[in-house]
Structure 1
Amino acid sequence: MELEKTLHRVQERILTHQCAPQIMNICSKILLSMVSINLLIIWGLSNRTINQISFDQETKDNIYHFSIIDEDNTMLMMKYAKTQELLHLKTELLQSHNFTIINISIDYNNYFDSNLQKLLSLTTNLETLFLHDIAYSIQSDIYVKNNATNQTYIWKEKRAPQNQLGKIIQHLWEFSIITFGLFISSAISSLYIKITIICAPVIIIIMLEVSYLFGNRQIFPIFLARAFPWIGLYLNILDRTQRSKKQLIIAFALMLFLIYFIYLSSVIIGGFLLFKSQVPFSLEDNFFGLVTVNEFASLLFLRTRSSLYFVPKFTIIYYYLFLWYVQSTNYGFYSLAMLTLSYVCLGTFCLFIYLYEIPSLGWNPLSYYTPTIDRPRCYYLPVFSLNWVNDLPQLWSMFYPLHGRRYFQIQNLALVDRNFPLLNNLLDIEMQEQQ
């Protein structure tokens, strides 16, 4: 509860800035407009004429050197072959062992069928266009290497299910994998964000410990207990009993350290589940970074009923559409799609902040549907223990769904409604039952 109050104060301070409404309105319009433009560009690039790349599928000893040249400037150099090992051997060694090296050079202006395709290509890079041509013009095992970056792409010949039932099973399997990967990624990202915020006061503690060396012993327990009760509560006890706070600080720091490595592990697992081997470099990192940013933005800014109900649903739909595009294409314009995903997620956040979160700061504070310092969010989690009021809830509670007011009875909401007579009466009844 106290953590939520602290986050509410931060959100309120940010959104009460006089320029916040204009900034959110402009950002939402620009970002969502860019989404529409990017989708049209992706559609145009996906439907362009595929260049048929020269490749002998029967010969394993051929290696192809492909170049796109603009006058005297080499704009792209790629190698591809049916055998992966050939890509990593030097040209002199290949020639000495009588491997066939086929050089293919194409003029940049002749690589496109029209000026429109040439214009659309400016939104991506030549490597992506070439790999897109490779993926859709060669239907066999092939290995491709970029000479400049040394990144290797692999395509294996796939046999698609012939009957309708097989296709349905394949789609259900892909959907299940995406769902499982998203669950791991979003859940651990959320946990990482929460633990980071929880452990952030440790830095302040260390700074105040330094102030101890200069004789300032008054502000420490008072400041921490009020500002960060979930840590200050224990520090206050240690201070009163004149015990060392070192072990407590180390414990929180080690927990943050451990959660960080769990987060890195989830990125590796999520990358294995959600992405194929032939994706652009850093695409996975960008996606998981966006997931983490969305989790942080949700934790900090989403407080009204409409935002809490709609934004997570929209966001997960965006994730599914992006990942389905990655899974269902041999090679697509993934970097542009990733940029579009970022725009639509951030644009949706800005739109809901502009429509609901900023106006809610001026709503009637007596209304049960207005976020306030005592009611930081308008969806609720049952308080199974009153210790959660000043301390932190158990970690399992992050998987417990939030509910609206109609899920609870009036007496269940006595704490958030500040109905102290009813709350005291309930506590008295509970104490009598325990006796």
Structure 2
Amino acid sequence: MNDIANLRTTLSELDDLLVNCMRCGMCQSVCPVFQDSMLEGDVARGKLALIDSLAKRMIDSPKEVKDRLEKCLLCGSCEAGCPSGVKITDIFIKARAVLTSYMGLSPVKKAIFRGTLVHPRLFTGLLSMGSKFQWVATSEANSFFGTSCSKIMSPLIGDRHFMPLAKRPLHKDHSGMDTGKGTAGIRVAFYPGCVVDKMLPQVGKAVIKALEFHRCGIYLPKNQGCCGIPTLASGDEESFLKLLKHNLKPFSKGNYDVLVTPCATCTSTIKKLWPKMAAKISPDAEKKAKRIADRTMDISEFLVKQFGVDLSAHAVVGAKKTVTWHDPCHLKKSIGVAAEPRTILKGLPGYEYAEMKEADYCCGNGGSFNLIHYDTSTRIGGRKRENILATGADVVATGCPACMMQMTDMLSQGGDNVAVKHVIELYADAL
């Protein structure tokens, strides 16, 4: 009975959210998936029309509805440009939760999410083991990027050029840090996120180097869990809430001034989704999540607003490289951070900054979207690659590990010697 009551409540909430959509079609001009397919069912307006009769449609043809709703990057482009202010991302997440509640999770997702991801120690241990034996199934794809490819034909991996798991993840060297306030009088909690910890530890080390340079105290609690967005994007609220409870414990402690992350998606999830979802746990959990969210900042935003990041004392003599910037969707469109990373890049010694055409156009990754719809993801990513190459840049910087993975795949497959870096890596190098 509780499940039916929850379903009725969620459907009613969807009705309330849908009422503002005027079906104007403005979302067509900004949706990367629609721009690729030109199919009405792939744009927000078409999906909202589908959701409008969700109760009936999920009984008549639940798989068709699920497939159409999952063909979305959750990039937020439609919501950012909606003249009626429709909370499209919230609608899609709620609709996916309804469908998952009705249909259940696939065996694979159930094994990944509920069997491993919600148990951070187990998840970390399995990936640590995987990093030692990944060479068995993979081989080098491109030495410039350090990418790998599958040795065998795999429908999951396909022709991807992907970043291998790090031989030594970030937590091996830096987990459990607690250095007090620091001489700058600021205590910073650090949430690296899964990809930085397990695949791109150099990004996490760059964050720590920058914080130490500015004499900040660092609070980096052990055994952090995933922010939960992969589970919520798949409609698995149960797993998301378990991960949220896990993360609330360490980050509700530690009397820190600000929480920083180098992952645009994690930042957006913590700031916008943790408080909303924590309300489903308890009023106390909601209060804790809101307090964390209010203190959460992207690392580039924090450095620029707090310290100004003047690098003039580190001037480099000689030829300069060119760097360009890709706006992660969850950084610019979700939380409005766009000027700060550009401030850092424009001040880098040894670099000239070149603005990219369509810098805020989605790279096409979209997490699980990349796994399910790789052909579409590749075509969208190819558009991003062309815009990167048109700048003549030696380096493309961004603020999202998932975007780094996508652009690395596209540039690696194209044989383009354009380095892909996180903005904090370039900043830390300049110190």
Under TM normalisation by the shorter chain, which class is it? under 0.3
Higher helix share: 1
The structure showing larger relative contact order (alpha-carbon pairs under 8 Å, at least 6 residues apart) is 1
Say which one has the larger Rg: 1
